[in-house]
Amino acid sequence: MPNSPFPETGTGPTWAESAVGAYLRQHAFGAIAYSQTTGRWATSYGQPDRATAETIACDKCGTGDARIVVWGQMTWLALAVGDGGGYGWARDANPEQAKQLALQGCRGTNRRIEVCFDTMRGWLRPARKRPHLSWRGWLSLVILVFAFASFGSAGVFGNGNSANPGGEIIVGIICVIIAALIRFPALRHGLEWSSRAVLKLLGSSARAIHRR
């Protein structure tokens, strides 16, 4: 095929590949809308033009003060926010560079990337940090291990070797309660509040009886 625009080695794109590439390039506009008062944000991607991308992003944000902070075509867009209402944005061909530029332009403390995405293909959220156990978590874990050892010694999970299985079960139950109180502060605070309420009620009842 002497008039073929591609070499005959078979390495050139096919007509279908060229058509798909052209379509994607034509539908590669995206935008980020951000509301500074509420902290809400929204994105659009894969749109045929800038105006459509911006309109969709603002509509999705759903706030009266939402405004477009950045738009682009066939690029990466990133939005960073910080405590106190600060924010920064960037566009770049490299996603990591876009994130870095957005963070550099963001004011405030605790700066973080909210979203980074390709305007042609869509989302790429920042990787979530792996959760780590605090000292409370480790302490509660150790206490739970001791509790299960007590249950095992009492024969809860099979044959036990304890001379006092009832005592071992009680110790295990107490350990589970202590671990739960350490691990879940809300449960501990609730128990403290309940204890204070009960003591207050008992005190009021005692004073009422004394007056009689």
Question: 8-23, pLDDT tens digit by residue?
Answer: 444 444 544 454 455 5
Return the top range by mean pLDDT from 3-7, 123-127, 135-139, 163-167.
Answer: 163-167
The whole-number average pLDDT for the span 178-206 is 69
Judge contact between 90 and 105, C-beta under 8 A: yes
Token pair, residue 82, equals 């910080």
Angle (CA) 187 189 191, round 5°: 70
Kindly state whether residues 118 and 140 are assigned to the same domain: no
Q: Cα(60)–Cα(126) distance, rounded to whole angstroms?
A: 21
Kindly state whether residues 87 and 161 are assigned to the same domain: no
Taking CA atoms, 197 is separated from 97, 201, 203, 207, in Å, by 56, 6, 10, 15
Q: What is the model's pTM?
A: 0.50
Kindly state whether residues 119 and 145 are assigned to the same domain: no
Position with higher pLDDT, 181 vs 96: 96
pLDDT tens per residue, range 83-126: 888 999 999 999 999 999 999 999 888 899 999 999 988 765 55
Q: Does 97 reside within a domain?
A: yes
Q: Which of 77, 96, 124 is the last residue of a domain?
A: 124
Domain span including residue 60: 27-124
Q: Which of 85, 100, 124 is the last residue of a domain?
A: 124
Strand partners, 34: 41, 67
